[in-house]
């Protein structure tokens, strides 16, 4: 039986890139996958699983969600079915973002979104460009079904000027002058700062794992000191 995946359309994000990647990996699965790019609450609630993508400014993201009546819907979905947040979609799940002078977010996951700063440097003191744009190594903080078949320290593609600092539920980290919480996992929610749809074979593997994810993983990944 075909699974349905709703990609939330709030007027921002790599919607069709994500949908195309899902269709590619879904075609390899028994029964296939039906991908719907939609802002229709009924279709989103009826889907087996949901993708919450995003690019751009968090202020615009939150405004569009509220304008379309999707803010509370995202909170409901996050509590009821498998959901994958991507990039700004991940940041919108946090409590608050420093971007645009400070924006309250959906408060689905604990943590804040912080600016890299104008003088970001690596361990050798070399200045790093902001936004963080390109491939970076992602280190797992624990086992999770979405990491199946993805070796620790695999590389994924990032594009962002703000990063997440979370007190718990950290599923993976990356380094770019500061420690980036590159993935978070809490019950049926998994969220990533990188773009799996732009991350080659490993990104497609993560999307395939999401389509096959049936049971919640352990929800707590302790932050290492």
Residues 6+ apart with CB under 8 A from 67: none
- What's the rounded Cα separation, in Å, for the pair 62 and 178? 26
For residue 56, what are its two tokens?
């751009």
| Residue pointed to by tokens 């039906």 | 34
- What's the rounded Cα separation, in Å, for the pair 53 and 210? 14
Respond yes or no: is residue 181 known to be catalytic.
Answer: no
- What's the rounded Cα separation, in Å, for the pair 14 and 1? 27
- What's the rounded Cα separation, in Å, for the pair 17 and 197? 7
- What's the rounded Cα separation, in Å, for the pair 83 and 49? 6
- What's the rounded Cα separation, in Å, for the pair 160 and 129? 11
Quick one: 46 exposed, middle or buried, by C-beta within 10 A (0-12, 13-18, 19+)? exposed
The catalytic position among 61, 87, 105, 141 is: 87
Number of continuous H segments (helices) and E segments (strands) in the chain: 6, 13
Contact (CB, 8 A) for 130 and 117: yes
Active site residues: 87, 195, 197
């Amino acid at each position: 039986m075909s699974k349905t995946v709703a990609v939330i359309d709030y007027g921002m994000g790599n919607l069709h890139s994500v949908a195309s990647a899902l269709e590619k990996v879904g075609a390899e699965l028994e029964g296939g996958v039906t991908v719907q790019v939609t802002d229709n609450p009924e279709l989103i609630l009826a889907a087996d699983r949901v993708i919450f993508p995003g690019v751009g400014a968090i202020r615009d993201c939150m405004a569009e969600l509220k304008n379309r009546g999707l803010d509370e819907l995202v909170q409901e979905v996050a509590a009821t079915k498998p959901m994958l947040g991507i990039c700004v979609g991940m940041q919108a799940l946090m409590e608050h973002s420093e971007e645009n002078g400070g924006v309250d977010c959906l408060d689905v996951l604990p943590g804040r979104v912080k600016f890299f700063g104008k003088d970001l440097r690596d361990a050798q003191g070399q200045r790093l460009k902001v936004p963080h744009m390109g491939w970076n190594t992602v280190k797992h903080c624990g086992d999770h079904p979405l990491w199946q078949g993805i070796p620790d320290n695999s590389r994924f593609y990032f594009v962002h000027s703000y990063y997440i600092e979370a007190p718990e539920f950290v599923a993976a980290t990356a380094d770019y002058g500061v420690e980036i919480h590159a993935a978070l996992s809490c019950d049926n929610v998994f969220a990533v700062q990188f773009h799996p749809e732009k991350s080659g074979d490993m990104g497609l593997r993560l999307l395939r794992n999401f389509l096959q994810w049936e049971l919640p993983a352990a929800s707590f990944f302790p932050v290492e000191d």
